[in-house]
Structure 1
Amino acid sequence: MARIRQFEVAAAKLMASGRLPGTLHVSIGQEAVAAGVCDVLRRDDLITTTHRGHGHCLAKGGEPRAMMAELLGRSTGYCGGRSGSMHIADPAAGILGANAIVGAGIPIALGGAFAAARKGRGGVAVAFFGEGAVAQGVFHESLNLAALWKLPIVFVCENNQYVELTPVSVHLAAKHVADHAAPYGIPGSQVDGNDAHAVRDAADEAVARAREGGGPALLECLTYRWHGHFEGDPQKYRDAAEVAEWKAGDPLNRLAASLPGETEAIDDEARREMADAVTAAEADPLAAPDSVTAHVYRLPGGALR
């Protein structure tokens, strides 16, 4: 969780200073969800994530050096500097990719779960998504198919209270995202997403069930993003008192209570690691213009697709 926090603090500073191109969405305040869920996964298990996916990637085994290089458009980044923040992928670590399209990672994780079931090695897939994706048709289609085929997948909703600039109270008809599990006959539960132990316990149960052939589950983690929808967001849609109230329940501070005397060293190590990642990435060459067509499919006749 400290590594996630410090990675995103460093990235936000790079954006504010004009050294990071493009746009940036951070998950500061939501670290317990990524850490709690990924702690019960194997390296060969699969995840998909969202435009706000740095934490999930780091928790699943992504390398800060390659991630930071990707954010900075360097050729040493995970995708050669062509994807930026919202499309980081590392198949070797089971990270099938972040995704800028709302809900688009859900069916990809479903495909990963189908492949895991066919392989028969006890693999599990996890789809991370926000509450905004629950209004997308693909969310319901994926829950239905996963339930029908009893696929080994856990659907993890990070309910951070806002769909871009819109509060969830005026966005979803159902009171709880977890309520959407019942129509498909699968387990659905809601957990305090800022309590790392609670998230881990709930994920452990759901992942074990999926691994043993019990089928899918839906886990709703209630959390909050401290920053705006994007870095530079003026945040006129919420008041400072609300943000301060959620910050008082900082998931890192809550976890620190169970780690007396250890957290200062952990935080210091995480800061050094991310500072080193920034220094190394900024020294790397930018992605070359002539690499833009690398890894692009060509149709017969040579046309790019």
Structure 2
Amino acid sequence: MTMVVDEGDFLKIWLDYWRRYLPDECLHVICHGENPELESLARGVRFENIARNAPYPEMENDRWKMLADKVSALTRDGFTVVYTDVDEILIADPRHTGSVVDKLMRVDVPVAHTLGLEVIHRTDKAPEPISLDMPILRQRQYFRTTSFYSKPCIVTAPVRWGRGGHFADAEKLYFIRGLYTVHLRFFEMNQFRERARARRAMTDAPENLKALHHRRWRESDEGIEDVIAELHAMKCPRIRSMFTLRLLWRIWRTRKKVPNEDGLYVYALCTGDLQRFPRRFLNLI
């Protein structure tokens, strides 16, 4: 399941990926506001239009409550549900046995996380625009680990999520070995600029924006350029690697043993150093 507003490129990537593993009747796309172009692109899958209201302070919180209700209803019918934003793709490490669906079918816990990998477009290393007709990870090979997108996105029982889907009300923390969520927000920097400006006009920024260093793009165009400059200042590795234990340790160490005032179990939001995908990942997306 995913939700989309106007991100046709991301929806195409999401559909192309999941159609390799699942029939259309297993794919659910929610469109936040009517968009005939996206509906045409998603023809054949379960497509649902919901009304989009003018921005208001609790809009994002309410949206995630709605998504949790929809996912929870499907689990009551016995389904395992994966919810990702449209710019997030769940992948399985080819080094481990089984496809992404094989791994999902073996999940036997109420809520499970995957480790987050955020693709970074380094224009100094890959100046060419992205082509959606070629594997994405062959064109964008740099990433950083991130707990922001190590979300509780695999669900087999009713769940409550917080804003952004970063935290859930599940008391126990489970990660599925060999599963990763690849976040594509920064996979094309010019597109990120355009999308960031559009999002500022559509939703209210979080109240604690000043404390969220990585979300300065919500504040101004200058903030967008600051974020891009920081990503380009990161040191590019020469070797291909997949070092994830430090991120796992940070999540386990900082996760609170009691829920916060919203009933969610939270942990530190952090990112790692720049890495380069091992060759076995390059054709996955």
User: Is the TM-score greater than 0.5?
Assistant: no
Please state which structure has a larger fraction of its residues in helix.
1
Please state which structure has a larger fraction of its residues in strand.
2
TM-score (norm 2): 0.30
Q: Which has the larger radius of gyration?
A: 1
TM-score (norm 1): 0.29
